[in-house]
Amino acid sequence: MSDVIARAEAWLVDDPDDTTRAELAAVVEAASDGSDDALADLRDRFAGFLEFGTAGLRGKIGAGPNRMNRAVVIRAAAGLARYLTDSLGVQGIEGPARVAIGYDARHGSYDFAVDTAAVMTAAGHEALLLPRTLPTPVLAFATRFLDADAGVMVTASHNPPQDNGYKVYLGGRVVSDEGQGAQIVPPHDAEIASRIADVESVASVERADRGWTVLGEGVIDEYVTQVAALVPEASAGGDTAARRAATRIVLTPLHGVGGETVDRVLRAAGFGDLHTVTEQAEPDPDFPTVDFPNPEEKGAIDLALELARSVGADVVIANDPDADRCAVATLIDGEWTMLHGDVVGSLLGERIAEHRALLRMAPGSQVLANSIVSSQQLGAIASRHGLAHANTLTGFKWIGRTPRLVFGYEEALGYCVAPQLVRDKDGISAALLIADFVAELKASGRTLADAIDDLARAYGVYLTSQVSARYADLAEIPATMARLMAAPPATLAGSAVVATDDMSAGFQGLPPTTGLHLAAESGARVIVRPSGTEPKVKAYLEVIVPVEGDDVAAARTTAAATMDELRADVTAALGI
């Protein structure tokens, strides 16, 4: 006990924040007085430094090195500043790096952003702070638009309210290939982490009290203008303006920072019949109307669906709190239904592929990409339209840096529809393209449900699902993976397994990653991998059923029955 209390007392001396100092002092006092709960809390807070990886930092807000707080952020900013200095120095470039910094409305975000600007300025770099709380896609856009060498976004995306995070992009002169403006990947993450580890103390880090630039509204205006231009101008003639004006859209930012920007982009493109969920319209770091601020979670968009029913909406669009994800709901058989991320990814992929195919560019010069755990349908879409397709590892840090990318997505509601603007998922530009598609469909008396049927007729029914096993003992995760690798199932949903691939040895040209790929003769596929953010093993399931004649309903019934069998097989294999 004395060791952890001594470390906590040393941290207290170095903590620059009155609030977290007081919080930690109270825990130390309780632990010293014999509280087992306080001692356990203290040990967790000092179990190590919050790990800096390819997602940057993300964790619970609080005092101590294993939490998100000003002390941890200042150290991270110092390590990043040192890395930028070294990276430019290796190239023989003298002078400052340019760093764009954004922040959302979560607890602590503004302070973390200002601390980052103060550290960068003191280190001799040019810090450009966005003027107010804004969505992650705006910061990602600004990183490229301002030709910044790095971008920092303070956000925990769709995590619970007690969390915050620190996402890093590299570009400018530091990364100049297809990854310019994308999230960090190895070896950059490890190199930044090593410099963070070299920081002796917060007190040793110089921080300026002025000297950084607070940007004006121009960069936001530019983002809105360029995103709105992704669809044809409503003033260009024809019935474009009329059909957009006639399209009724329900929106919710889920208490996040995307509401204003989504509204501006849609209105700039000619959509005026917009209805935002009042209870969720304003940024609120406590997310009071939802249990979990992720549109994928059950109940998160219930208020939006209720509003859609009351106003007779044509579509519901929900963004997560930092607006890098986009959820879509539509009427199917008279019921408002939220679409799976793979369905939206295929709808957007088909629409973009159709338009790109008309350009008649050289084969392979345009690429559709999705994560390996997302549906295989995007590959079929690319093939049908003469475009190339690429699978990537999970996460937009990989999707966004795909060479010659024109569209990329992952099943967790992330879509990159304009990589020339944002090399990351962008729920705002995706919302615009969905709205434009809905308007076009409505003008011909059709809906997204009809477009989904069109996909089935063209490619067959692709049905995806997930099974996950949660573990209290983290040691059970590698044990489960090892057991599956040693004895994988011989059949999946009654069909013989024809491929068993250990993804740690590399798979389909991808870098090694922990995972197991199983493919059945029927076309069914399963990928099993440990979660990167939770104590889970996740299995991603897919069945493919061709449509005979025009009977989409029969194919869907068959797919659903096959998926039930597949889910039972995988559940048994996982031992849950």
Give tens-digit pLDDT for 482-508.
Answer: 999 999 999 999 999 999 999 998 898
Q: What is the CA radius of gyration of the chain?
A: 24
Classified as helix, coil or strand, 543 is strand
Arithmetic mean of pLDDT, 447-467:
97
List, in sequence order, every residue forming a beta bridge with 368; answer none if it has no partner.
Answer: 389, 407
Arithmetic mean of pLDDT, 263-275:
97
pLDDT in tens, 30-39: 999 989 999 9
Residue of 397, 400, 378 whose CA lies nearest to 389: 378
Residue of 104, 99, 150 whose CA lies nearest to 128: 99
Sign of torsion over alpha carbons 450, 454, 457, 461 = negative
Arithmetic mean of pLDDT, 361-375:
90
**pLDDT score recorded for residue 531:** 80
pLDDT in tens, 51-86: 888 778 999 999 999 999 999 999 999 999 999 999
**pLDDT score recorded for residue 348:** 98
**pLDDT score recorded for residue 459:** 97
| 76 contacts 123 by C-beta, under 8 angstroms | no
DSSP string over 436-495? HHHHHHHHTT--HHHHHHHHHHHH-EEEEEEEEEE-SSTTHHHHHHHHHHHS--SEETTE
Residue 28, pLDDT above cutoff 70: yes
pTM over 0.75: yes
Residue 377, pLDDT above cutoff 80: yes
Q: What is the DSSP letter of 135?
A: -
AA letter at 194: S
Arithmetic mean of pLDDT, 343-360:
92
pLDDT in tens, 190-227: 999 999 999 999 999 999 999 999 999 999 999 999 99
Give catalytic status of residue 531 as yes or no.
Answer: no
Residue 74 Cα distances to 28, 122, 190, 194, 207, angstroms? 23, 12, 18, 15, 9
Level-2 CATH architecture, domain 460-574: 2-Layer Sandwich (3.30)
Phi–psi pair at 288, nearest 5 degrees: -70, -20
Residue 469, pLDDT above cutoff 90: no
Tally Cβ neighbours within 10 Å of residue 413: 28
**pLDDT score recorded for residue 152:** 98
Classified as helix, coil or strand, 166 is strand
- State the DSSP H helix or E strand holding residue 7, giving kind and residue range, or none if neither: helix 2-14
AA letter at 124: G
At 533, the pLDDT band (50, 70, 90 cuts) reads: low
- State the DSSP H helix or E strand holding residue 29, giving kind and residue range, or none if neither: helix 18-32
Out of 2, 32, 87, 157, the active site residue is: 157
At 237, the pLDDT band (50, 70, 90 cuts) reads: low
The segment(s) of the chain belonging to CATH 3.40.120.10 are 68-218, 247-459
Level-2 CATH architecture, domain 247-459: 3-Layer(aba) Sandwich (3.40)
The segment(s) of the chain belonging to CATH 3.30.310.50 are 460-574
Arithmetic mean of pLDDT, 405-416:
97
- Give residues with Cβ within 8 angstroms of 534, minimum separation 6: 470
Residues 225, 425: Cα–Cα separation, whole Å: 18
**pLDDT score recorded for residue 1:** 60
**pLDDT score recorded for residue 536:** 86
Residue 538 Cα distances to 49, 238, 413, 465, angstroms? 27, 48, 17, 11
- Give residues with Cβ within 8 angstroms of 432, minimum separation 6: 227, 228, 230, 231, 265, 266, 269
Mean pLDDT, the chain, whole residue set: 95
At 236, the pLDDT band (50, 70, 90 cuts) reads: low
Arithmetic mean of pLDDT, 144-151:
98
Annotation: CATH topology of 68-218: Alpha-D-Glucose-1,6-Bisphosphate; Chain A, domain 3 (3.40.120)
Tell me, rounded to whole angstroms, the distance of Cα 155 from its chain centroid: 11
Arithmetic mean of pLDDT, 531-541:
84
Residue of 48, 24, 50, 49 whose CA lies nearest to 38: 24
Residue of 80, 61, 97, 90 whose CA lies nearest to 196: 80
Phi–psi pair at 229, nearest 5 degrees: -75, -5
Residue percentage of the chain with pLDDT more than 70: 99
List, in sequence order, every residue forming a beta bridge with 537; answer none if it has no partner.
Answer: 469, 530
- Give residues with Cβ within 8 angstroms of 390, minimum separation 6: 367, 368, 369, 402
